[in-house]
Amino acid sequence: MIAEALAVAAHRLGGDRDGVLARLGGALGVEARAAVVRASTFDAGKQKLRRAEVAVLARAPLPPGLRGVHPTWIEAALAELPPRARTALANGGGDATDVWLARWATATFVAMPELRRGPPAHAGELVALSHEELAAYIARVGVAAIAPAFASDVVGRRQLAQRLPRPHGSIVAAELEAHVLP
């Protein structure tokens, strides 16, 4: 989401956009530049609509698909925060303090796709499986077997980890990180 928001914000820079985005390092820079490339395939109307959608999502107090994050990750995020954060998260924000608390509690979560049923046609569809189906799939094929498909997909790796219960998701995340391309 942050990369998409950066790409949308950079749109206003006109001809300076690519030079500014080239200065962003790491996975965030790669994702922001990829978002610009994706948007360039859209016609002008669709580009404008996408910019508006991203602007709305960037202002939302909760990340899209939060229900797809396993509750154990949410509980861990709330453990260090004041009790009001739990209420703010349950209510999806509220006043400025509640919005800030909800964002703080969910800051490490990535947008999650909607759940789908059935066997995945390709590795990219794994992130849309329920945590039960995902755990069964990983137990059947092994994490190392799916690691190459997520070697360059930072968001996908986090989605897989956060879809699973936190103890298992942390192990999956570590295994996937071990296979990241240099």
pLDDT digits (tens, 9 = 90+) for 122-131: 888 999 999 9
Q: What is the per-residue pLDDT for 167?
A: 96
1 confidence band (pLDDT: 50, 70, 90):
low
pLDDT exceeds 90 at position 94? no
Task: Summarize the confidence of residues 73-97 as an average pLDDT.
Answer: 93
Kindly report, residue by residue over 109-167, the tens digit of the pLDDT. 988 999 988 888 888 899 999 999 999 999 999 898 999 999 888 889 999 999 999 99
Q: How many Å from the N-terminal Cα to the C-terminal Cα in the chain? A: 24
pTM summary value: 0.72
